[in-house]
Amino acid sequence: MTRQRILLISFIGILIFGLLLGGTFVYQKKWVDVSILRQSQQIPGVISAKTVQNNGQKEMLVGTNHLSNLRKTSQELEKLAGNLPIRYLDRTNNDLNKLFGQMQFALQEGISRGNFTEMEQNIKNQADKAGIQLELEMDSDAIYVVMTQGDAQLIEVIERHGQTRFLPSEKE
Give the whole-angstrom CA distance, residue 32 versus residue 127: 40
Question: Chain-wide mean pLDDT for the chain?
Answer: 87
First-to-last CA distance in the chain? 61
Beta-sheet pairing, 46-54 with 57-64: antiparallel
The contacts of residue 131 (CB under 8 Å, 6+ apart) are 149
Would you say 132 and 99 are in contact if contact means Cβ atoms under 8 Å apart? yes
Report d(CA 78, CA 169) in Å as an integer: 15
- Give the pTM: 0.78
Question: pLDDT tens across 123-142, in order?
Answer: 999 999 999 999 999 999 99
Q: How many CB atoms lie within 10 A of CB 167?
A: 17
In 3-state terms the chain splits into helix, strand, coil percentages (rounded to 5) of 50, 30, 20
Residue type, 158: I
Instruction: Specify the pLDDT at position 37.
Output: 62
pLDDT confidence of residue 26? 59
Instruction: Give residue limits of the domains in the chain.
Output: 41-171
Give the range among 21-25, 41-45, 67-71, 157-161 with minimum mean pLDDT: 21-25
Cβ-based neighbours of 44, under 8 Å, separated by 6 or more? 67, 68, 69, 73
Residues 52-66 pLDDT 10s: 888 888 898 999 988
Rg, C-alpha atoms of the chain: 22
What single-letter amino acid sits at 21? L
Write the pLDDT tens digit of every residue in 91-107: 999 999 999 999 999 99
Which residues contact residue 163 at a Cβ distance below 8 angstroms, ignoring those fewer than 6 apart?
141
Q: Hey, what amino acid is at 102? A: Q
